[in-house]
């Protein structure tokens, strides 16, 4: 019995030692596994941080690009405004050098340069060659007004300098006694004369104006009595015709009344029955007599 007890204790001790060794091994394996897991997690977090940094960089670059894109429309608008302003200024400048001529007779075989050059050179009293050096281009152009009224196409003269156009307009204004006028549709004229705006839309007004200002306009003065006498003659003729028509109507009515009386008398003498007349009384309906 004494020998069996130590052997059992030794077995138990051996089992305990083996158990402790296996337990220590499990703990070491577990620690190594956890350390590996931690290392992998650290590596994964490091990669995630790197990706987040790159993503944040991409977002920042996108925001910067959005800011640039927001700025570009304003830049484009400002550029368009400046361009449109420049185009408008160029159009205004080019239009200030254009001269339009209306009513010039059109011919298929015409030389428009010589025709316009002779007209303008005689107006400015300079040689034709000198005037044509100031001309850029001359051409004809139809407008809605010329097509509607069947007028010859307008002549467009593009000059090199604005000064030449101003000289031509000043010469025209001086030739027309510095009178600026405007046509009235369908017939008439408005213009400024001695600081007052005159409107002439009839032959009578035109005659009165020319009689008053014949000496200033260079016309031969006409006697105002002639026009007034014509007006009086016309008014007398109108009154005579009115009186004659009135007398004719009165005589016609008198003749009708006379014939009706004669008919009644002849009917009474011959035994004819007179016509029935409609008689009305207050509060009653009409009835035959």
106 Cβ neighbours under 8 A, 6+ residues apart: 140, 152, 153
Q: What was the pLDDT predicted at 91?
A: 82
Q: What was the pLDDT predicted at 281?
A: 47
Structure tokens at 216: 């200033």
State how far the Cα of 240 lies from the Cα of 285, in Å rounded to an integer: 48
State how far the Cα of 146 lies from the Cα of 152, in Å rounded to an integer: 6
State how far the Cα of 53 lies from the Cα of 59, in Å rounded to an integer: 10
Q: What was the pLDDT predicted at 265?
A: 44
Q: What was the pLDDT predicted at 263?
A: 47
> Residue 81 class from Cβ within 10 Å (0-12 exposed, 13-18 middle, 19+ buried)?
exposed
Q: What is the mean pLDDT of each run of 10 residues along the chain (289 residues)?
A: 67 82 85 87 88 87 75 75 85 85 87 90 89 91 88 91 88 70 69 82 86 79 46 46 51 53 44 46 44
Q: What was the pLDDT predicted at 264?
A: 46
Nearest to 159 by CA among 88, 95, 86, 111: 95
């Amino acid at each position: 019995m004494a020998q069996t007890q130590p052997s059992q204790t030794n077995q138990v001790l051996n089992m305990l030692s083996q158990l402790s060794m296996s337990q220590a091994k499990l703990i070491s394996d577990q620690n190594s596994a956890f350390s590996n897991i931690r290392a992998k997690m650290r590596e994964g977090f490091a990669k995630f941080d790197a990706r987040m940094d790159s993503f944040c960089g991409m977002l920042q670059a996108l925001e910067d690009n959005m800011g640039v894109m927001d700025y570009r429309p304003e830049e484009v608008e400002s550029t368009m405004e400046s361009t449109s302003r420049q185009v408008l200024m160029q159009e205004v400048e080019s239009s200030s050098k254009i001269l339009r001529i209306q009513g010039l007779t059109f011919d298929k075989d015409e030389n428009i340069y010589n025709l316009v050059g002779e007209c303008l050179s005689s107006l400015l009293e300079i040689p034709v060659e000198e005037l044509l050096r100031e001309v850029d281009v001359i051409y004809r152009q139809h407008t809605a007004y010329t097509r509607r009224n069947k007028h010859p196409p307008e002549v467009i003269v593009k000059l090199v300098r604005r000064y030449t156009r101003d000289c031509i307009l000043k010469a025209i204004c001086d030739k027309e006694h510095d009178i600026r006028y405007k046509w009235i549709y369908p017939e008439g004229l408005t213009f400024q004369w001695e600081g007052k705006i005159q409107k002439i839309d009839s032959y009578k007004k035109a005659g009165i104006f020319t009689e008053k200002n014949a000496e200033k306009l260079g016309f031969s003065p006409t006697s105002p009595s002639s026009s007034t006498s014509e007006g009086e003659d016309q008014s007398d003729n109108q009154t005579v015709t009115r009186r004659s028509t009135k007398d004719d109507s009165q005589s016609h009515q008198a003749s009708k009344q006379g014939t009706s009386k004669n008919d009644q008398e002849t009917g009474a003498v011959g035994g004819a029955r007179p016509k029935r007349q409609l008689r009305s009384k207050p509060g009653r309906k009409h009835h035959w007599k």
